[in-house]
């Protein structure tokens, strides 16, 4: 189904977006977004990664029309959220962070109401297909209050899909979700992506962004501190770890290597983390040999996203 006349515009285009929550009796005024710029290309699985309070939900909720921006602009598939609100809303499905649902309906009714809300004609509704895909077809006539937490979360995804949006945004979809359900969710999300849906997910789980997303933006204290393909983000951190196994497993790290801060692993191997732009492997190996270690085996380990995240977060704080 052709989604819009502007299939070439980015899925999301945010410029100078600022949000200040007004002072209340309970809290001081809070700048949640400091004028951010962000472009999410069509067809990506895009991760918006950041710690709690970073501003992820604020951004998502502005796109959803649930929070009013203070300054700047945002467009969804080329449709400005302010001047082309109807088209913008029709272009995204949002799976909110909080599970808040009307529990007196059945899943089938819930999807029907949502489809009506979006003006999807009866003949074009896909309630069965969606409930089947989410493993909820058997529960179609059960009351929502009888569903497990995981089923409710799947139903929320279903509700976000009734109007067949080209962009699906999931806000912390796996917080408090068990491993099996998480696997199921990601399988379905990948299927949607394979069918052409642009996926955006927010998470503070680094492994989640690392395993799912092809592009990752890091948001911290209301600012975007990184935004690039996952691989180049990983490459930006110039740290590697050299793991050396000696012919006889070591019982202590040699004093001669103390300046390299080596770590002795449980299996007697020595792990040395170094900066690739300051140190080379041949040089490291010379040091290791000079310390009297006879090398039996060696390998290097790449940093994971956790390291990248921490490094970028600390840089921001300087």
Ligand X SMILES: Nc1ncnc2c1ncn2[C@@H]1O[C@H](COP(=O)(O)OP(=O)(O)O)[C@@H](O)[C@H]1O
Task: Report in angstroms how near the CB of residue 171 gets to ligand X at its nearest.
Answer: 7
Residue placing its CB nearer to Mg ion in the complex, 59 or 270: 59
56 touching ligand X, by CB under 6 A: yes
Residue placing its CB nearer to ligand X in the complex, 10 or 50: 50
58 contact, one of ligand X, Mg ion, none, CB 5-8 Å limit per kind = ligand X
57 touching Mg ion, by CB under 5 A: yes
Check the CA dihedral 230-231-235-241 and report its sign: positive
Q: Are 130 and 161 in contact (CB under 8 A)?
A: yes
Residue placing its CB nearer to ligand X in the complex, 25 or 86: 25
21 touching ligand X, by CB under 6 A: yes
209 touching ligand X, by CB under 6 A: no
CB count, 10 Å around CB of 301? 12
Return the closest-CA partner of residue 42 out of 223, 218, 200, 265. 200
Task: Report in angstroms how near the CB of residue 21 gets to ligand X at its nearest.
Answer: 3
> From the list 58, 91, 114, 225, which residue makes contact with ligand X (rule: CB under 6 A)?
58
> From the list 15, 18, 30, 140, which residue makes contact with ligand X (rule: CB under 6 A)?
30
61 touching Mg ion, by CB under 5 A: no
Residue placing its CB nearer to Mg ion in the complex, 58 or 197: 58
Residue placing its CB nearer to ligand X in the complex, 1 or 27: 27
CB count, 10 Å around CB of 192? 17
Task: Report in angstroms how near the CB of residue 83 gets to ligand X at its nearest.
Answer: 24
Using CB under 5 A, which of the segments 56-64, 175-183, 237-245, 257-265 binds Mg ion? 56-64
Structure tokens at 267: 């299996």
Q: Which residues contact 11 (CB under 8 A, 6 or more apart)?
A: 40, 41, 42, 43, 44, 46, 76, 77, 166, 167, 198, 200
Residue placing its CB nearer to ligand X in the complex, 33 or 101: 33
- Angstrom distance (rounded) from CA 292 to CA 288: 7
65 touching ligand X, by CB under 6 A: no
> From the list 11, 12, 45, 54, which residue makes contact with ligand X (rule: CB under 6 A)?
54
Q: Exposure pattern of 237-272 as b/e (b: 16+ CB <10 Å)?
A: beebebbbbbeeebeebbeebeebebeeeeeebbeb
227 touching Mg ion, by CB under 5 A: no
32 contact, one of ligand X, Mg ion, none, CB 5-8 Å limit per kind = ligand X
> From the list 32, 45, 226, 269, which residue makes contact with ligand X (rule: CB under 6 A)?
32
Q: Which residues contact 138 (CB under 8 A, 6 or more apart)?
A: none
Structure tokens at 208: 């989640």
CB count, 10 Å around CB of 81? 21
Which secondary-structure segment (H or E) carries 18? strand 12-21
Return the closest-CA partner of residue 81 out of 97, 98, 61, 99. 61
Task: Report in angstroms how near the CB of residue 228 gets to Mg ion at its nearest.
Answer: 22
Total of chain residues touching ligand X, rule CB under 6 A: 12
Using DSSP bridges, classify how beta strands 198-203 and 167-171 pair: parallel, antiparallel or unpaired.
parallel
53 touching ligand X, by CB under 6 A: yes
- Give me the residues that bind Mg ion (CB under 5 A), please: 56-57, 97
Interface ranges with ligand X (CB under 6 A): 21, 27, 30, 32, 50, 52-58
């Amino acid at each position: 189904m052709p989604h819009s006349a502007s299939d070439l515009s980015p899925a999301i285009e945010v410029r100078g977006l600022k949000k200040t929550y007004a002072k209340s009796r309970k809290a001081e005024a809070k700048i949640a977004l400091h004028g951010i710029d962000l472009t999410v290309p069509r067809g990506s699985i895009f991760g918006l990664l950041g710690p709690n309070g970073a501003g992820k939900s604020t951004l998502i909720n502005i796109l959803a029309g649930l929070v009013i921006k203070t300054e700047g602009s945002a467009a969804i598939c080329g449709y400005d959220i302010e001047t082309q609100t109807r088209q913008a809303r029709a272009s995204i499905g949002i799976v909110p962070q909080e599970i808040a649902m009307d529990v007196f309906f059945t899943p089938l009714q819930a999807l029907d109401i949502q489809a009506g809300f979006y003006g999807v004609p009866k003949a074009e509704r896909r309630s069965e297909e969606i409930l089947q895909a989410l493993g909820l077809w058997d529960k179609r006539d059960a009351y929502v209050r009888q569903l497990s937490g995981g089923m409710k979360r799947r139903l929320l995804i279903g509700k976000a899909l009734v109007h067949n949006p080209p962009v699906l945004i999931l806000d912390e979809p796996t917080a408090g979700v068990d491993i099996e359900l998480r696997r199921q969710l990601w399988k379905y999300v990948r299927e949607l992506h394979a069918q052409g849906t642009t996926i955006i997910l927010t998470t503070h789980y680094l492994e989640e962004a690392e395993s799912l997303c092809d592009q990752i933006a890091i948001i911290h204290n209301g600012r975007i501190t990184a935004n690039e393909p996952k691989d180049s983000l990983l490459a930006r951190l110039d740290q590697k770890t050299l793991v050396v196994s000696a012919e006889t497993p070591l019982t202590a790290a040699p004093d001669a290597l103390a300046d390299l801060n080596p770590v002795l692993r449980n299996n007697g191997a020595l792990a040395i983390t170094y900066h690739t732009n300051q140190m080379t492997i041949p040089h490291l190996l010379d040091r290791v040999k000079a310390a009297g270690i006879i090398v039996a085996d060696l390998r290097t380990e790449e940093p994971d996203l956790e390291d990248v995240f921490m490094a970028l977060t600390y840089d921001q704080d300087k």
